[in-house]
Structure 1
């Protein structure tokens, strides 16, 4: 899919990539979602499917935080207070811990709800606000939203599909 250039394309990308991810996640048996068999977000680490979903929830919540702070006229500390862009593996591990006590079905539900909140926020904005000027360095607001929602959904879907091929027996 091409990089969204307007509000409607962004909304479609978020919805479509989330739906594809949700379908891939639904094929993972519940008794395997906590096994640390996926490559982690830090070099030489492993994570579970539940960790991957926690990562997405964490980033989606950051997007909402950025938008909320922007709307309130407050400074945004990209990517997150206490973390630099070269510490994203460390931030990912924080997200794993943040949601480790949330049962997997509720984690999936949370991701769906947060995605809808982001879509609602995008729907309340005009293309000029989303794509008319840089928001963070050279990136527009729309591009930053896409880089932290629909793109990671697609990446996660590919990871899950690869995991499924490697770990699930072929149907007979």
Structure 2
């Protein structure tokens, strides 16, 4: 997994990957947002709903911990061995929105994450065990949790969207 020399590099990569990801939705028609293609495991709406779900959880974990609320990851309703159920909850929660509304929601979430990163000191961002919600046997620092739920899937899911469009014949 890639690392970052500092907060600025991390934010720039996050912005870059988000903008490239978001751009893939420009030529997807609203009436096609729920269309599943045989070689792609998510519809465009599910693809962005997944991103909305995880970015919301990141922000929720941080918000809850700052209020002194015990955080149960990924959620009190879903354990790590039931991510499929969690993903279905994301699709249910965000799937009724139009594609443009989903894009607007995600842009807002990404903006909040960037502001959050900007306001973290380097120790909190880059040193393990700085947040209870981020303290796991893997000993990941906060940046890694943010990365695997933003930058990494923005790259991977962009490729899925491109494949979806190719199969549909619109790429």
CA distance in 2, matches of 1:66, 1:39: 30
Matched, 1:56 2:51: yes
Q: Closer, same or farther in 2 for the Cα pair 1:5/1:142, shift >3 Å?
A: farther
Q: CA deviation at 1:5?
A: 4.7
Q: Which runs of 5+ in 1 are unaligned?
A: 41-46
Decide which of 71, 83, 91 is 1:88's aligned counterpart: 83
Runs (4+) of structure 1 exceeding 4 A deviation are: none
CA distance in 2, matches of 1:108, 1:146: 19
Q: TM-score with structure 1 length normalisation?
A: 0.87
Q: Closer, same or farther in 2 for the Cα pair 1:5/1:90, shift >3 Å?
A: farther
CA distance in 1, matches of 2:10, 2:28: 28
Q: TM-score with structure 2 length normalisation?
A: 0.87
1:54-133 equivalence runs, <5 A? 54-133=49-128
Q: Which has the higher strand share?
A: 1
Give the match for residue 44 of structure 1. none
CA distance in 1, matches of 2:119, 2:20: 25
